[in-house]
Amino acid sequence: MMILVGQLDSPFVRRVAATMSHYDIAFDRHVLSVFGDRDEVMRLNPLGKVPALIIDEGETLVDSAVIIDYLDEIAPPERRLTPSAGPGRRNVLRLATVAMGISERAVQLRVETVRRPAHLQSEEFIDNYRRSIRDSLDYLERETETPWSTGETLSQADFSATAALTHLSAKVEEFADLRAWPKLAAIRETGEALGAFKSNPFMEG
């Protein structure tokens, strides 16, 4: 059975776990922390990042986008969350990439404000990360349709937005309330109600 490495407080790990559940792909989990288990994480991924997906004794995939690309290859065609080609595919990838970019900025912001000693923190970096998150939320709110990101069809854009927004609102206080972005807030709420997300709950790490 495949093994998903990482904790569900990571939006990158969580979008992969939810995607696997949606595709009915069974998996075991290896719950490693990038901070507490750094050596073991680095043995699996030289970048020292999660998620990693061990698909076979000799093969480990890293980076959530690459992992999801592989999952789309093996998923039942009628359940696939990313169109295989054309403008529809580009649209889903564009929105999913901005959603995951928000998560990257949120992680950077927390590293700068929570992990780095106060006297070493950079106001310039902090402002840039905050601005990047806010502008990306505005961008997604403008570009998103209803009820789902691309209209009537559930897609990887919604899975990525759900994982990213739950992580952001839990971890960065100034974005705890997402009411300023009502379409995104609605997608997050409906996304969290899906079985795929309920069976992979966000956990505070």
Ligand X SMILES: N[C@@H](CCC(=O)N[C@@H](CS)C(=O)NCC(=O)O)C(=O)O
Contacts to ligand X by CB under 6 A: 10, 12, 34, 48-51, 63-65, 100, 107
CB of 105 to ligand X, least distance (A): 11
Nearer of residues 32 and 75 to ligand X, judged by Cβ? 32
8 A C-beta contact, residue 154 and residue 184: no
CB of 54 to ligand X, least distance (A): 15
Nearer of residues 51 and 191 to ligand X, judged by Cβ? 51
Length of the chain equals 205
Of 110, 100, 89, 111, the closest CA to residue 164 belongs to: 100
CB of 44 to ligand X, least distance (A): 11
CB of 78 to ligand X, least distance (A): 26
CB of 197 to ligand X, least distance (A): 17
d(CA 37, CA 130): 29
Of 88, 78, 109, 104, the closest CA to residue 160 belongs to: 104
Nearer of residues 11 and 83 to ligand X, judged by Cβ? 11
Amino acid identity, position 196 = A
Nearer of residues 44 and 137 to ligand X, judged by Cβ? 44
Cα dist from 56 to 52, 69, 72, 111, 180, whole Å: 12, 16, 17, 33, 44
Nearer of residues 37 and 183 to ligand X, judged by Cβ? 37
